[in-house]
Chains A and B, each alone.
Chain A
Amino acid sequence: MTIPISYYLVLSGVLFAIGTLGVLARRNALIVFMSIELMLNAVNLAFVSFARLWADMAGQVMVFFVLVVAAAEVVVGLAIIVNIFRTKETVDLDDIDLLRG
Chain B
Amino acid sequence: MTIELVIFWVLAIVAVGTSLAMIAGKRPVHCAVIFLGTLGSLAGLFLLLIAQFVAILQVIIYAGAILVLFLFVIMLLHAHSGEGPGEKIRFQRPLALALSLALLVGMSLVFWQSGFGEAPPAPPEGMGTAEAVGNALFERFILPFEVASVLLLAGILGAVVLSKKERG
Contacts and interface: CB of A to CB of B under 8 A. Distances in A.
Interface residues of B, number: 90
Given A10-B112, A94-B88, A65 B148 contact: yes
B148 A13 contact: no
Interface string A27-39: 1101101110110
Contacts of A78: 69-70, 73, 159
Q: Interface SS of chain B: helix, strand, loop or mixed?
A: helix
B123 A34 contact: no
Interface of A: 1-11, 13-22, 24-28, 30-31, 33-35, 37-38, 41, 44-45, 48-49, 51-53, 55, 57-58, 60-61, 63-65, 67-76, 78-83, 85, 89-92, 94-95
Interface of B: 2, 4-5, 8, 12, 15-16, 19-20, 22-23, 25, 28, 31-32, 35, 38-39, 42, 45-46, 48-51, 53-54, 57-58, 61-62, 65-66, 69-70, 73-74, 76-77, 80-84, 87-89, 92-93, 95-97, 99-101, 103-104, 107-108, 111-112, 114, 116-121, 123-124, 127-128, 132-133, 135-137, 140-141, 144, 148, 151-152, 154-156, 158-159, 162-163
